[in-house]
Amino acid sequence: MSNAPSLAARPAASLHRFANPGRFLRLSGRLLPWLAASAGLVLAVGLPWALWFSPPDWQQGETVRIMYLHVPMAWLAMGGYAGLAVASAMALVWRHPLADLAARELSPVGAAVTALCLATGSLWGKPMWGTWWVWDARLTSVLVLFFLWLGHAALVRAFDDPERGARMGAILALVGALNLPVVKFSVEWWNTLHQPASLTRVNAPALHVDILYPLLTCAVGFTLAFAAVVLLRVRAAVMERRIRALQMAAARRAETDG
């Protein structure tokens, strides 16, 4: 029984090791160039491979090339929102000071990739389904996901008190996470126009390797780019907060001296 508090405190203590702004800036400063360079290198290989050198699909023809952007954006839209929910939980439960900033800077990037997912899905749907949009279960749930991203980005910036805005945004993010299983399993739960997942089985995916490998390469490249952009935004937010704190301290000293 005497060890219970210490065991319970270990996760929080390990998380708060990285809460120091100076430590975060040092670590992220070392990591960011590697992330950005890796993203550029992987995409430099993956995009030409996907858009020019991969074969057309036997059924969709050249239209299949939209998939190399659409599918990674869909994965990032869902994976990014899962990350938003995790950051929000860390902010609410452990009061991690960087979790609020991470969630705040993640939502505009997540909204952008979800918008790209919807746009490329419409471009793909026109030749495949004969229409730009249908109120399909998958498309509708992704549209809801897009509005959740936008709602979080707006809500955390809607209050004069940043802590109140972060708390309300965290609650919205956690409630909105209930939509993720709907997005994932909508093609299985309902009769939809959207095709089922092509990578449900790693050992025998539905895609031919000539299409699968460039798709996975693009997905890795876009994921690294997504992480680099979010990390860059969080670094900028941390530095902005530190500058604001220094300015306020200088203003208080000026008032005291005066």
* CATH number assigned to the domain comprising residue 152: 1.20.120
In which element (H, E) is residue 101 found?
A: helix 97-129
Report long-range pairs for 80-83 (Cβ below 8 Å, ≥24 apart): 80/106, 80/109, 80/110, 80/113, 80/226, 81/110, 81/145, 81/148, 81/149, 81/173, 81/176, 81/177, 81/180, 82/177, 82/180
Model-level pTM? 0.85
- What's the number of domains the chain is made of? 1
Flag whether 189 is in a domain. yes
pLDDT at 16: 56
Low-confidence ranges of the chain (pLDDT < 70): 1-19, 190-206, 258
For 190-245, write each residue's pLDDT tens digit.
666 566 665 554 455 567 788 899 999 999 999 999 999 999 999 999 888 878 77
pLDDT at 182: 92
- Measuring CA to CA, how many Å separate 134 from each of 47, 143, 188, 193? 29, 11, 17, 8
pLDDT at 63: 84
Flag whether 134 is in a domain. yes
Flag whether 3 is in a domain. no
pLDDT at 1: 44
pLDDT at 95: 82
Q: Is there a contact between 91 and 110 (Cβ–Cβ < 8 Å)?
A: no
Flag whether 9 is in a domain. no
Flag whether 94 is in a domain. yes
Flag whether 11 is in a domain. no
The domain of 77 spans 34-194+208-249
Flag whether 230 is in a domain. yes
Flag whether 14 is in a domain. no
